[in-house]
Amino acid sequence: MFIVFEGIDGSGKTTIASMVANELKSHGYKIFLTEEPTRTWLGEAVRRGIKEEKNPFTQAFLFFADRAEHIREIKKHIERGEIVICDRYIYSTYAYQGAQLSPSMGLEKALKWLETIYSPIRLDPDVVILLTTSPLRGIGRIKNRERRESFERREFLERVQKIYVYLAEKYGFEIVDSDTSIEAVFEKVKEILRKFDIIP
């Protein structure tokens, strides 16, 4: 089973992903909790690319390099019967790099290009849960974090979230409004997972 959490910065994905991991562990599952960018040197290269504000094409290739290796790792865990929980995946590239590339090439063309790069390494999740938040709230949640990236701008995040909502329709994501309490979000997420018969 492969579960993905997506959402703009400050949407609470990371907290919810770890709460879900603990919940599933308590039901006896072996969990591989992971994230993109990864914690490998490739993930570090990605973070450096963001920090140095490399052009959107460079950033897209960096994200794909990191993901190509990550997918091999994810496959191994799935084959071992583990539940993989991933904090960001390909849809982050569609939404963020889509938002970055759309002014120069248009959103449809940008998404097509990104989908083409993804197609040979493709591994589809069983469920994608999109946490939505007002970008202002999201920024409020992250403003105290030490690591600030150029992406964390309200206007940009508004565009990113719009693309996420568009992708949700296109790919059939589950959407959960995260502008409520973390407990309420967690309950909604558990409801979704019950449909997959992995929790009672």
By CB under 6 A, name the binding residues for ligand TMP: 9, 36-37, 50, 63, 88, 92-93, 96-97, 149, 151
Nearer to ligand TMP, 66 or 83 (CB): 66
DSSP string, 52-87: TT--HHHHHHHHHHHHHHHHHHHHHHHHTTPEEEEE
Nearer to ligand TMP, 62 or 127 (CB): 62
How near is the Cβ of 98 to ligand TMP at its closest, in Å?
Answer: 9
In whole angstroms, what is the distance from residue 163 CA to residue 90 CA? 13
Query: What are phi and psi for residue 4, nearest 5 degrees?
Result: -120, 135
The residue with its CB nearest to ligand TMP is 96
How near is the Cβ of 149 to ligand TMP at its closest, in Å?
Answer: 5
How near is the Cβ of 165 to ligand TMP at its closest, in Å?
Answer: 16
Nearer to ligand TMP, 29 or 154 (CB): 154
195 burial level (CB within 10 Å; 0-12, 13-18, 19+): exposed
Nearer to ligand TMP, 44 or 108 (CB): 44
138: enclosing H helix or E strand: helix 135-142
Cross-strand partners of 176: 131
User: What are the E-state strand segments in the chain?
Assistant: 2-7, 31-35, 83-87, 127-132, 174-177
Nearer to ligand TMP, 123 or 198 (CB): 123
How near is the Cβ of 81 to ligand TMP at its closest, in Å?
Answer: 26
How near is the Cβ of 7 to ligand TMP at its closest, in Å?
Answer: 9
